Structure formats: structure tokens, C-alpha cells
Amino acid sequence: MRSADERKKMIDGNHETLSVAKQLDLVSIPASSFYYLPKGESEENLAILRLLDEQYFKTPFYGVMRLTAALVGLGYKINHKRVRRLMQIVDWKTIYREPKTTIDNKEHKKYPYLLRNLKIERCNQVWATDITYIPMKTGFMYLMAVIDLHSRYVLHWSLSNTMSAEWCVEVLKETISKHGKPEIFNTDQGSQFTSDAFVKVLTDNEIKISMDGKGRALDNIFIERLWRSVKYEHIYLNVYEDGLSLWKGLDGYFRFYNQERPHQSLNYKTPAGYYYTKAA
């Protein structure tokens, strides 16, 4: 049976007789997980979202008050309530003890952070995942990636226009199907990752669950570095108008990141070369 990624590559956005929606139905891919329609906002909000996304990598310690002041200084008529909502869209994780922008569910169980002082010395010892905001010309999408922390290898990635738990579960299952399972799986405390369905996949596979501490964005520093690379080396250099072109662009970038881009921490080997050598 073909994987979801292989099935996605069968989709032709310019097919003469079959719409993208019909093609998705034929190959059994949910439209919500195929980056079908970018989520919309006003032109001004899209401009602010792009600013916030870029600003995060410069000042992740800024909170609502400072960001509001900075935007007002740029000429925007904006209040704290609106800034807070836009911060949630870009998943801004302010680095301080009591973050006000984490989207969690207090009814969901939280798990301890298992990576502090842990020596990560082999592939498939620890995987981590996160979701980030991807700006587009007329909207935005969400990108989820799963990375092996020892090799920096991006095991799997997916686009969606919603941050649903169902989408995250699908990505997790596909990653395990392709690469086996890690000893530990690390996430933040977002409601998608603390949901019963997501946790059940991990516990059913006897995978230890680790979660970043509240206000500890740097607990998942390897994913944060991946997002910085993806955005500065690719997203900010391109202006994508639709989900299909965005997916194709990211597909090319992740191939480059995994198979061609040498990493200093890996003695200038590529993540793919390192992962498949060490995990064999």
C-alpha cells in the first residue's frame, strides 16, 4: 500500500478533467491534511502575522505588551486582544515562566519533560514534533514535522489549514509506519499533542512521552532551529499563492535539508546519510 506522501505526489493540480478534491477522494486523502485551502485573514492581519513570524526568531522573549507597542510604533492601530489572537495563530511561545499564549487544554494530562540532562547519543532514541505557521500570499497554512534529534533527520512532515488533533495523529501514525518507533517522543503541551487520540498512539507503541515545560520554548530547541532554517532558507525567499505550490516547494526543500545540506553538528554529514548509517 502506498504511503500518504506517495499518494499526495499523485495529485495533479492542473489535471484537465479531475479536480484536486476528486483526486483526493480517489486516493483516500483527507482534504484537511492536503493543504487544500489556505486559511484566510484580512490583508492587514496577514501582514502583521508575517511580521510576528519573523520577529519571533529575533525576540522570542517578547510578550503581548511589547509586541503591541512595537506594532503601534510601526503605524498599526491594534490592541492587546488582537495581538494575543494573532500570536496564537503563529504559535508564539514567549520564553518566560508563565506564558499567556500557549494553547493547551487543562483537562488533558500533561507529562514531564524527560530530556533535561539526557545524553542523546543514538538515532531513534528521541523524536520530537511541533507545528509552525507558514505565511502565504493570500493566507497561511500549518506545517508539522517529526525530527530525529540525534541525526536532525526530518522523518516526516505534513501541511494542513487547521491544527486538528486528527491531523497530528495521522502524521504520527505515518511516521511510525515508515520509520519504526523511538524510545521517547517529545512535544509541547498543545492540545493536539495532549489529546487522548495522540497519547494513545504513543502508549500503544510503548513510547515514553516527554513534554516541554510551560514557558520553556527552548526545551524543544532542535525543532525551533529547524523552523528557523525552513523559514529563512526557503519560506521567506518565496511567495506561495496556493497550497499545492507550497507543498511542492517544501517537498524540494526537505529533500535538500535531509540529503544535501551538511550539518556542522554531524561533522558535516547530511541528516539522511547520518540517520540511515547509524540507525541501520
**CATH code at position 171:** 3.30.420.10
Asked if 19 and 140 sit in the same domain, the reply is no
pLDDT at res. 100: 41
Distance of alpha carbon 275 from alpha carbon 266, whole angstroms: 10
Task: Assess if residue 75 is contained within a domain.
Answer: no
> Strand locations in 57-173, DSSP E?
126-135, 140-148, 153-160
Asked if 274 and 136 sit in the same domain, the reply is yes
Cell numbers at 115, concatenated: 530530556
pLDDT at res. 102: 44
- Residue 239's domain comprises 126-278
Task: Assess if residue 92 is contained within a domain.
Answer: no
Asked if 26 and 149 sit in the same domain, the reply is no
Asked if 132 and 20 sit in the same domain, the reply is no
pLDDT (tens, 9 = 90+) of the chain, 280 residues, equals 455 556 556 666 566 666 665 776 676 665 555 555 677 788 999 999 999 999 998 988 899 999 999 999 999 999 999 999 999 999 888 775 443 434 455 566 889 999 988 999 999 999 999 999 999 988 899 999 999 999 999 999 999 888 889 999 999 999 999 999 999 999 998 899 999 999 999 999 999 999 987 655 556 788 989 999 999 999 999 989 888 889 889 999 999 999 999 988 888 899 999 999 876 5
Report the alpha-carbon angle 145-62-55, nearest 5: 55
Task: Assess if residue 234 is contained within a domain.
Answer: yes
Task: Assess if residue 14 is contained within a domain.
Answer: yes
Task: Assess if residue 38 is contained within a domain.
Answer: no
Task: Assess if residue 157 is contained within a domain.
Answer: yes
Q: pTM for the whole thing?
A: 0.80
Instruction: Say if residues 229 and 198 touch (Cβ distance below 8 Å).
Output: no
Task: Assess if residue 23 is contained within a domain.
Answer: yes
Which residue is listed with cell 532554517?
229
How many structural domains are present in the chain? 2
pLDDT at res. 20: 61
Task: Assess if residue 259 is contained within a domain.
Answer: yes
pLDDT at res. 154: 97
pLDDT at res. 212: 83
Give CA separation, 278 vs 42, 68, 176, 274, in Å.
48, 47, 18, 6
Q: What is the SS3 assignment for 213? A: coil
